[in-house]
Chains A and B, each alone.
Chain A
Amino acid sequence: MPRLVSHPDEVKIVTRRFGQGAANIDRYMELGGYEAAKKCLAQGPDWIINEMKASNLRGRGGAGFPTGMKWSFVPKQSPKPKYVLVNGDESEPGTCKDHLIFLHDPHAVIEGTIIAGLAIGSKLGFIYLRGEYRYLLEIMEKAVADAYAKGFLGKNIFGSDTEFQIITQSGAGAYEVGEESALMESLEGKRGVPRIKPPFPAVVGLYGGPTVINNAETIATVPHVIAMGGEAYAAVGSPRNGGTRLFGVSGHVERPGVYELPMGYNLKKIVYDVAGGVRGGRKLKAVVPGGSSTPVLLPEEIENLGMDFDQVGKAGSMLGSGGVVVIDDQTCIVEFALRTISFYQHESCGWCIPCREGTDWLKKSLTRFHAGFGTAKDIDNIQYLAENMLGRTFCPLGDAAAMPTLGFVKKFRKEFEDHLNGKPCPFAKHTEMAIV
């Protein structure tokens, strides 16, 4: 069972009910649950969207798009039904925050989905969980059934004449399905290959109807935004980055775990204070700030880095999914790069050439390189390949592979050079990786 952690600097908004049995609907209601949804039902769509805009809540799935604005793009009138789609595919390495939300606070996801539905005028929401999360799907299914039993979902929610239904859905193993348009394809029973944009999902989405897609954390945050008021929520965070964020700290730290901290919280403090510092008193080598697709940062780069979308972006990386991966000085960066790229090679949907061939080629080069058969030319080639994938692929998965690769090669070129010409890896024990 995933262990819960806590730290005095945490501001518990989304995690407020964690560990308190809130998966039980009655307990959830005792803790104030479903009040926000009722309020939204009374206030109507424009009010909801205004609150969301005021909250400065930005998408927790990775790209950080302002949630209120996203909802406002959905046309008011639509000949086709509109949908809400909750993205619980959580597959970016380093990320396990949605896991905890589904486990401890499933009704927050349901309530947020209802509110999103009210805001855009949808009658049907989907909650899509990655296939590996079967036990969490069962928790969600039970929660949905309980919400139906209470009349919070169905033809007349909360006794009103408004309808809202929720369907839970399981994936079957595919990172790319986390990408919003691939997610819709998967939900339509197809291969998880992304769609051409435009049109964007808010206009033409699931089954051709306007669709709002949000990350599970984003959705679970919504009831709290409504309960607190948008402005109060915004005030917790940094400029243009409202509220808190669930940072999953993993890797070489003393106290790994998911911490809820205000937006803009200092990264160095996350590593050294919140998560207890580098494990075993070792030295810090690098930090991956927002899941495996975000370019690595050096110790000196995290000194004064506030963790919000804008500041991390300015530092040349991304806040991404909030998965902070801490790497100590005993780690081989080439091996780390290889493991990162192996993942993207394995998960590339194969649709477009630069991503399919690029990830495959990078993995091959890095595998050989790490085994000690690299040449100086390889380092340039790896950089050349990554540069030529960047911005050229069909969807951002290609970027997700190219960006960290460029980071590793540029920031740790010396370490790559140490592997050259038959020299064995100075660190690693594992030179072979089974995943193909």
Chain B
Amino acid sequence: MSSETMTIFSPQLAARFDALVAKYPVRRSALVPMLLYAQDEVGYLSDAVIAEVAVRIGITELDVRNVATYYSMLRFKPAGRFNVQVCTNISCMLRGGYDLFDRFQDELGIGHKGVTQDGLFSLEEVECIGACCWAPAIQVNYDFHDDLTPDHVPAILDQYRAKAQSEGKAAHA
């Protein structure tokens, strides 16, 4: 399948996909992780991604969407290059999760599911991320940051701004 001519997957992603589907007793088992990996690369599940995954797995696009829309980490619109996910579930709430979320809103000037104009950050209030004993916690893309206070917020954002700069790429759209 990696010989796919009209692919929007990078060669690495296509290779990963081929390796993944081959592992399972049933090809379709690769669907959920594959959607996540494709999102990591493309930024979101565009129509083209859905179409390609459907062809590669051998199911209908409708079926892919049925599954994709079920999972909350999967999105159908671009997010920021760094997606800030603030947990406000009970353990984090008790230790200031909402204050943290408010501070991110102030610093970034966006609300829940918002994306900054430069496309660098997006912000999300999320459910428990499994860091309750180190609350309050957030994830920026897949990085955990825990035991935070609102005062940590500017430094965290600077860290990712610096990362964007050092990677020397324009903020992705």
Among B31, B33, B73, B89, the residue within 8 A (CB) of A292 is B89
Measured CA separation A325–B125 after assembly (Å): 20
CA distance A75 to B132 in the complex (A): 39
Contact of A134 among B91, B125, B142 (CB under 8 A): B142
Q: Are B30's CB and A99's CB within 8 A? A: no
- Whether A93 lies near B67 (C-beta < 8 A) is no
Contact present for B112 and A435 (CB under 8 Å)? yes
Q: Are A94 and B127 in contact (CB under 8 A)?
A: no
The contact string, 1 if C-beta is below 8 Å from chain B, for chain A 349-388, is 1000000000000000000000000000000000000000
B15 to chain A minimum Cβ distance, whole angstroms, is 15
Contact with A along B67-107 (1 / 0, CB 8 A): 10011111000000000000011110111001001000000
Complex-state Cα separation, A347 to B72, whole angstroms: 9
Q: Which chain B positions have C-beta within 8 A of A167? A: 23-24
Given contacts A2-B146, A134-B142, A169-B33, contact A189 B67 (CB under 8 A): yes
Assuming the contacts A175-B127, A251-B91, A251-B94, asked whether A256 and B70 have C-beta atoms less than 8 A apart, the reply is no
- Whether the Cβ atoms of A189 and B25 lie closer than 8 Å is no
A207 contacts chain B at the CB level, 8 A cutoff: yes
For the complex, is A343 an interface residue (Cβ under 8 Å from B)?
Answer: yes
> With A132-B139, A346-B127 in contact, is A94–B144 under 8 Å at CB?
no
B115 interfacial contact with A, CB 8 Å: no
Is A24 at the interface (CB under 8 A from chain B)? no
Inter-chain contact total with CB atoms closer than 8 Å: 167
What is the interface of chain B mostly: helix, strand, loop, or mixed? mixed
Residues in B with CB closer than 8 Å to A186 are 32
Q: Given A93-B127, A130-B130, A132-B129, do A124 and B25 touch, yes or no (CB 8 Å)?
A: yes
Are the CB atoms of A189 and B31 closer together than 8 Å?
yes
A174 at the A/B interface (Cβ < 8 Å)? yes
Name the residue in A92, A192, A325 with the highest tally of chain B Cβ atoms < 10 Å from its Cβ: A325
Whether B111 sits at the interface, judged by CB under 8 Å, is yes
Provide the residues of chain A in CB contact with B148, threshold 8 Å: none
Q: Assuming A186-B32, A191-B66, is B26 touching A94 (CB within 8 A)?
A: no
* Binary contact track A112-129/B, C-beta < 8 Å → 1, others 0: 000000000000100000
CB of A94 to closest CB in B, whole Å? 5
**Would you call B135 an interface residue if the criterion is a C-beta within 8 Å of the partner chain's C-beta atoms?**
yes
Interface centre among B33, B90, B134 (most CB of A within 10 A): B90
Identify which of residues 152-207 in chain A touch chain B, using a CB-to-CB cut-off of 8 Å. Answer: 167, 169-175, 186-192, 207
Tally of chain B residues near chain A (CB < 8 A): 48
A189-B30, A292-B90, A339-B93 are contacts. A132–B74 as well, Cβ < 8 Å?
A: no
Interface-side segment among A260-268, A395-403, A416-424, A426-434: A426-434
**How far is A326 from B90 in the complex, measured between Cα atoms in Å?**
10
Question: What's the Cα separation between A173 and B36 when bound, in Å?
Answer: 10
Closest B residue by C-beta to A429: B98
Interface positions of B (Cβ within 8 A of A): 23-26, 28-33, 35-36, 57, 66-67, 70-74, 88-91, 93-95, 98, 101, 111-112, 125-135, 139, 142-144, 146-147
Known: A135-B143, A171-B32, A434-B125. 10 other contacts (CB 8 A): A2-B144, A91-B128, A95-B130, A172-B73, A187-B29, A188-B26, A190-B31, A251-B135, A339-B88, A343-B90
